[in-house]
Homo-oligomer: A and B are copies of this chain.
């Protein structure tokens, strides 16, 4: 049988990066931790993140038009992504679980649900309005 995972400086650094950064990709995590630990390698970052995801300590989030992101927030929630600047937001749905309940369909036993909203964030839509005003 497999032994217990061990606590290492590298795992701690990767986890810390997840809480400091905002829905980072593996590469963004690597850049962050590599600045502090120059020998911490890409392979380790991917392995550690994969281990966290498999162990349920973090959620691996796959959104359209971007690499996999890692999210330390475990409470059920969806994500919004700004089509303009790419920023990712947590979206806490008022009645998340009912979405799955309503969608049950013949024989498919649902045990998870990911929701992604695309749109334009506040900052980007204001910037667009300003630019349109200048053109007229």
Contact = CB atoms under 8 A, between A and B. Distances in A.
What band does the interface of chain A fall in when counting residues whose beta carbon is under 8 Å from B?
35 or more
Contacts of A82: 108
Nearest to A82: B108
Interface string A96-136: 00011011011111111111111111110100000000000
A42 interface: no
A3 interface: no
Contacts of A112: 117-119
A48 to B, nearest CB: 18
Interface string A51-95: 000000000111111000000000000101011000001010111
Given A89-B108, A99-B99, A64 B62 contact: yes
